[in-house]
Amino acid sequence: MTDRLDPVTGTTTTVLTNPVELLTFENRGPSRDPYAYAAPFDIDRMGTHGLYLWVSVPQDAGTPASVRVLCDDQPLELTPARSDIQAAQLSRAPYKSVAPWTSDWYFRLPESALKCLSSAQHMTVTADSTGTPGGRDDRFTADAQALRGFAAFAARHAESR
């Protein structure tokens, strides 16, 4: 886990050192990226905290119409948060874009969702590209071992409260 002080805005962002890597459910072929990524982050602006989830998915078939996150097969109620991130006035994204062919999604992360992900047996991310030509629903998953970063993040987050 890393704390980063934004030198431009004075905002502190707590991030995982290594985002969680999710692997595709099914073979996507040799020319399609088999990985998605997810990680929590906390924005601290002068004592006001905001808890968020970053998700990066390949956009081989165009930008997905929607992205959903499941914790042990239960959909999480996540609110898109791009405008929240912009309002925090970060001079850079909390996580670097993985590749030019991925799209980054930001969600508000309720405490209950963080708790679920920190103790989950698996996490699933679905990217719905069915509305684009050649698009389909892509699913990516990570097991409990890969989700250890969420547990460490949740423990540190609980300590800082």
Q: Residue 45: what pLDDT?
A: 83
CB-based contacts of 131, cutoff 8 Å, min separation 6: 65
pTM of the model: 0.89
Report residue 157: phi and psi, to 5°.
Answer: -60, -40
Count of the separate structural domains present in the chain: 1
Contact 20, 142 (CB under 8 A): yes
Task: Provide the residue range defining the domain that includes 101.
Answer: 2-159
CA distance to 41, 116, 154, 156, 157, per residue, from 12 (Å): 10, 25, 17, 15, 13
User: In DSSP terms, which residues pair with 40 in a beta bridge?
Assistant: 53
CATH number at residue 62: 2.60.40
Q: What is the pLDDT of residue 135?
A: 53
Identify the H or E element spanning 5: strand 2-5
One digit per residue, the tens of pLDDT, for the chain of length 161 reads 899 998 888 889 999 999 999 998 776 565 666 789 999 999 988 878 899 999 999 887 677 888 999 999 999 999 998 767 777 778 888 998 888 888 899 999 999 999 999 999 999 999 887 655 555 678 999 999 999 999 999 999 888 76
Question: What is residue 140's predicted lDDT score, i.e. its pLDDT?
Answer: 93
Contact 50, 40 (CB under 8 A): no
Place of tokens 């109620």: 77
